[in-house]
Amino acid sequence: QDPYSLYAFNQRESERVPSNRALRDTRHYRCSTLHYDSELPSTSIVITFHNEARSTLLRTVRSVLNRTPVHLIHEIILVDDFSHDQNDCLLLTKLPKVRCLRNNRREGLIRSRVRGADAAGAGVLTFLDSHCEVNKDWLPPLLQMIKEDPHCVASPVIDIISMDTFAYVAASSDLQGGFDWSLHFKWEQLSAEKRAKREDPTEPIKTPIIAGGLFVINKSWFIHLGKYDTAMDIWGGENFELSFRVWMCGGSLLIVPCSRVGHVFRKKHPYIFPEGNANTYINIRGRQELRKNLMCKSFKWYLDNVYPELKVPDDSDAKSGVIRQRQNCLEAQQVEGQDLPVLTLAPCSRTKDVPVRSQVSLPNL
């Protein structure tokens, strides 16, 4: 009765859309004039899912088969992360090139992707989400980037598939991935300097971070970098961790405007996490050792050379003064056995504009 209840998108509309529907070519017109090497490497396409709607999963796979030169698809590996119905995956093996791997318990997105990557037979990995539709000639531009530079990670422009109507909407190709200091991913306009250097709208865009689930990478490079951090139980931070590692350890991230893939963006996730999502902190000692062994550059290097647009917060906007609430002021009291003071409200000092030593000025907070 509620078409959003199972998958957090309009299931009724998804089932009305044909699995092999035609899509408008959303690329810049110059993309159709480009030519790519005749001997591009084939790729293993890894798609992970848990309780995905059959209509969207089928449309994802069929779009790949219908819009990709067959010789470039080594295989399509579906990793079923312990869905309720194992036939969601098994039925799709009737399609050409499709393999099915099923976890015997919930592992989460990251470990499921690593399992698919480990099973892949091709030298190039392509990761897709299970609610996507690839557009015309999406794969050759990505493989071309990998062939020219095995240390780059190539991502398409991600078009929008409406979660309500399943309309396919073109996204801007003049964006890069970014984030704020809360580590929230965001799309942002290219700087004036970057726009001035881009004379050709088909040229790849160097991006500080990729959105997450859609990219192509050389398998040997993926292994060398340490794959994904398999201690991550919950998706949402893996794109940050991988993006930082690629840039700081000798690689690069590119958004390729002549590759377009549509994605259903939901406002919430429709499933629960195996162990809940309250405690999401992990031990990073192993990743620190990996970075040391790979002789990776520092995060300061990343900020200076890859993402100079992200400014480090400083005290330039700080204001000084006492924090008041009517006749009370915020006061710091040192408690025996505690390193940090305890903040409480106490009557303000009677001396005008002169705070007592324990009453807190803003720069000290």
Higher pLDDT, 284 or 222: 222
Residue bearing tokens 């779009």: 63
Question: CA dihedral in degrees (189, 193, 199, 205; nearest 10)?
Answer: -50
E strand or H helix that includes residue 194: helix 192-197
Using an 8 Å Cβ cutoff, are 101 and 128 in contact? no
Q: What is the pLDDT of residue 279?
A: 58
187 pLDDT higher than 90: yes
pTM of the model: 0.85
Sign of CA dihedral 186, 187, 189, 190: positive
Residue 10 clears pLDDT 70, i.e. is over it: yes
Average pLDDT, the chain: 90
CA distance 275 to 162: 30
3-state secondary structure of 60: helix
Q: Give percent of the chain with pLDDT exceeding 70.
A: 91
At 120 the pLDDT is: 98
Q: What is the pLDDT of residue 364?
A: 41
Question: Which range among 120-124, 209-213, 268-272, 348-352 has the greatest average pLDDT?
Answer: 120-124
CB 259 within 8 A of CB 214: no
pLDDT digits (tens, 9 = 90+) for 285-297: 999 999 999 999 9
d(CA 129, CA 212): 9
Contact 107, 129 (CB under 8 A): no
What is d(CA 231, CA 263) in angstroms, rounded to the nearest whole number?
A: 26
Q: Please, are residues 208 and 176 in contact by the beta-carbon 8 Å criterion?
A: yes
Sign of the C-alpha dihedral computed for residues 48, 51, 52 and 54 taken in this order: positive
CA 278 to chain CA centroid, Å, is 21
| Residues 262 and 168 sit within 8 Å (Cβ to Cβ) | yes
Are residues 195 and 69 in contact, defined by beta-carbon separation less than 8 angstroms?
Answer: no
Q: Residue 27: which of 183, 156, 155 has the closest Cα?
A: 156
Confidence check: pLDDT of 356 > 60: no
User: Which range (75-89, 168-182, 279-293, 341-355) has the least confidence?
Assistant: 341-355
pLDDT tens digit sequence for 192-218: 888 888 889 999 999 999 987 899 999
Per-residue pLDDT at 1: 84
Share of the chain above pLDDT 90, in %: 73
d(C-alpha 146, C-alpha 142), whole Å: 7
Statement: residue 23 has pLDDT above 50: yes
139 SS3 class:
helix
Integer angstrom CA distances of residue 25 from 68, 169, 255, 257 = 14, 10, 18, 12
pLDDT tens, 228-237?
999 888 777 8
Closest by CA to 253, choosing from 217, 301, 296, is 217
Q: Give me the helix-helix angle, 238-248 and 285-293, nearest 10°.
A: 20
H/E segment holding residue 48: strand 43-49
pLDDT tops 50 at residue 125: yes
Mean pLDDT of 147-155: 98
